[in-house]
Amino acid sequence: MSTVLETPARAAGTTHPPRPWAAVLALARFEARELRLNMSFLALAVLYMIWIVWQATRLQGDFPILQNVDRGTQMMPVLIGLAVMLNVNRAVLRSRRRDTDRHFDVLVVEPWRRTVAHALSAVPAALFTAVCVTVQFTWAALKPGAAGHGSPAELAVGPLTVLLFGVLGALFGRLFLSILAAPILLVLLFFAMVFLAPPAGNNWVNWLYPVVSETGSDPFPSDLLERPAAWHALYLVGLVLLIALLAVLVSGGRTTAVKAAVAGALALTLVGAVGQSSGTPAGSTPARERASVTPEKIRKCIEHGRSTYCAFPEWTGRTADWAAVVDRVQNLAGGRAGGERLTVDQRIDARYGLDSDTSLTPSTEPGHVTVRTDWGGNRIPEFAVAVASVLVAGDEKAGTEVCDARMVTVMWLALGGASDPMSALSDVRLDDSVSGPALVLSPTEPFNMSAEQTRIVAELLKKPRYDVAGKVKAKWTELTSPDTSMARVAELLNVSAAAASDGDACEE
């Protein structure tokens, strides 16, 4: 062999100063690289990034509510956490499975320090998650239609979850010598998380799980969330430390400092757990009661054109979007309705908690239209329907009860000005159809549309807008009278009438 050992003469003893913690960091870096290059982690990381892009561009729409977006970042990191946990676990068990323990156990870095390094190897994955979460949130916050406030504590849950799963992988690796233990425990954990937790969000047991995402149909104003988010983040930090230190303790680091740190982490976890134990109120609180029953004391009213728009403080920036819809609908209306002063009231029923899907009762005040806290997508044509029904029937309550031929006018007013009226029609209908009878959604109560009404509306929507608009304005009084028959409406609007059936939805 021609190779030469370059240091024939060597100094006895150590040639480098002992730096035990630098070695731990170097090992953590090595293991983090192994994790990063692992196929399952890579695949899930890529999937996660695709999901972020998809949900920001497709799912979320243009009007994100930031106090919901922050909670929305919490679920996907669980998937990353899964990959991190199983890989950290495998890395911890690697030297045992491959029989290198005999060698490594006489090396300078002791097993408990190696455990610290394994726990730390999850940190880059957590940082990656933190970056993803930040991008996801910032993307939403930068949208012109964004409203509300995010909470840093809610945003911290995702990265902390990844870290928690990572240290759990290290602990399981030190507790159970089988490689099968971690996957099985993970299934048990997930099962317990999904099915054994009591359903209500106010239970303290619920808050012991890393991710507590409560979402209902209506975004709440951020001061009504009343989630113990900061306590929960503190609890997670404590739990991460506790589990990591337990893993160190199990692998032989039984120094006083470690024991003291375990006690400290336990205290931190308990403080967090107690702090969050009241949970989110399931039902009403004085603030929620006030926002639900007497919202006028909280809302701010802003005038755009003829009409007034009253929104919860976090939504005032959105009133212009509402005004655009109101103007668009009102421009198609004739008679007095075309110049009527409307009042748009933003309403919410927060008395049943974050998880609830509540319905609002239609307003009985003349000229008042309800808008909910959610906006964008189907909520826009639904609001347009409510505006049109108030213009035609006078008030929202009467509007939702319209079943006769006025329905045609309402629907045409609501949708005729939309950029794509036919798709707007399918959007407001519960079954997404454009023919046959269906329920039509509005911010308050839904109402029925018969097959014949649908057919006529669809036919009108396919005609040139100015053509129909002229006829609607000209015949406004007759078209908005409850006594006008379907056949007459069809005739007025120059649409072929069905031969036999009158076809309104009133008899249903």
Partner 1 sequence: MSDLSPAPPSVPTVSAAGLTLRYGGTAALDDVSVRLGEGVTGLLGPNGAGKTTLLRVLATAVPPDKGAFTVLGHDPGTSAGRQEVRRALGYLPQAPGFHPDFSAFEFVDYVAILKELTDRTARHREVRRVLDAVALSDVRSKRIKKLSGGMRQRVALAAALVGDPGFLVLDEPTVGLDPEQRMRFRELIARAGEGRTVLLSTHQTEDVAMLCHRVIVMVRGRVRFEGTPAELTARAAGRVWSSTEREPGAWAGWRTGTGSFRNVGEPPEGAELVEPTLEDGYLLTLDGESSEVTAA
Partner 2 sequence: MTRALVPPVWRALPRRALAAAAAVGLLLAGIPRMQSGPPDPLVGLYALRAAALVFALGLAFLLDDPARHITAAVPARRPVRVALRVALVAPWAALCWTAALLLVPEEARPPVGALTLEAAATAVLALAAAALVVRRTQATEPGAAISTWLLATGATAFLLLPPHWTLFVTPTDPRWQSTHTHWALLLTAAATTTALATTEPRHPHTPTPH
- What is the rounded CA–CA span in Å between residue 269 and residue 275? 10
Residue 197 vs residues 44, 192, 209, 279: alpha-carbon distances, Å: 26, 7, 9, 13
Helix segments in 121-254, DSSP class H: 123-142, 152-175, 181-191, 222-225, 229-250
Please report whether residue 204 would count as binding partner 1 according to CB under 8 A.
no
DSSP 3-state of 188: helix
Please state the closest distance from residue 27 (CB atom) to partner 1, in A. 5
Residues whose CB falls within 8 Å of the CB of residue 41, separated by 6 or more in sequence, listed in order: 35, 80, 83, 84, 87, 125
Single out the segment in contact with partner 1 by CB under 8 A; choices: 6-14, 219-227, 228-236, 307-315.
6-14
Residue 42 vs residues 83, 111, 128, 311, 478: alpha-carbon distances, Å: 9, 28, 12, 44, 66
- What is the rounded CA–CA span in Å between residue 204 and residue 414? 46
With respect to partner 2, which residue has the nearer C-beta, 161 or 450? Answer: 161
With respect to partner 2, which residue has the nearer C-beta, 22 or 192? Answer: 192
Token pair belonging to 125: 């994955």
Please state the closest distance from residue 176 (CB atom) to partner 2, in A. 10
With respect to partner 2, which residue has the nearer C-beta, 42 or 267? Answer: 42
- Residues 81 to 100 in contact with partner 1, rule: CB under 8 A: 94-95, 98-100
With respect to partner 2, which residue has the nearer C-beta, 75 or 123? Answer: 75
With respect to partner 1, which residue has the nearer C-beta, 109 or 439? Answer: 109
Number of residues in contact with partner 1, rule: CB under 8 A?
Answer: 38
Q: Which of 36, 78, 104, 252 is the binder for partner 1 (CB under 8 A)?
A: 104
Please state the closest distance from residue 19 (CB atom) to partner 1, in A. 5
- What is the rounded CA–CA span in Å between residue 247 and residue 163? 14
Please state the closest distance from residue 166 (CB atom) to partner 2, in A. 14
Query: Do 125 and 49 meet the contact criterion of CB atoms below 8 Å apart?
Result: no
Please state the closest distance from residue 489 (CB atom) to partner 2, in A. 36
| Residue 507 φ/ψ, nearest 5 degrees | -80, -10
Please state the closest distance from residue 12 (CB atom) to partner 1, in A. 5
Please report whether residue 259 would count as binding partner 1 according to CB under 8 A.
no
Token pair belonging to 263: 């006690």
DSSP 3-state of 11: coil
Binding site for partner 2 (CB under 8 A): 40, 43-44, 47, 51, 75-76, 78-79, 82-83, 86-87, 90, 97, 178-181, 183-184, 186-188, 190-191, 194-196
Please state the closest distance from residue 210 (CB atom) to partner 2, in A. 14
| Residue 460 φ/ψ, nearest 5 degrees | -65, -40
Please report whether residue 107 would count as binding partner 1 according to CB under 8 A.
yes
Please state the closest distance from residue 179 (CB atom) to partner 2, in A. 4
- Longest C-alpha distance within the chain, in Å? 111
Single out the segment in contact with partner 1 by CB under 8 A; choices: 3-11, 310-318, 384-392, 481-489.
3-11
Residues whose CB falls within 8 Å of the CB of residue 26, separated by 6 or more in sequence, listed in order: none
- What is the rounded CA–CA span in Å between residue 458 and residue 218? 30
- What is the rounded CA–CA span in Å between residue 17 and residue 277? 49
With respect to partner 2, which residue has the nearer C-beta, 74 or 330? Answer: 74
188 binds, among partner 2, partner 1, none (CB under 5 to 8 A by kind): partner 2
138 binds, among partner 1, partner 2, none (CB under 5 to 8 A by kind): none
- Residues 23 to 52 in contact with partner 1, rule: CB under 8 A: 23, 25-27, 30
Query: Do 20 and 109 meet the contact criterion of CB atoms below 8 Å apart?
Result: yes
With respect to partner 1, which residue has the nearer C-beta, 57 or 100? Answer: 100
Contact residues: partner 1, CB under 8 A: 1, 3-10, 12-16, 18-20, 22-23, 25-27, 30, 94-95, 98-109, 114
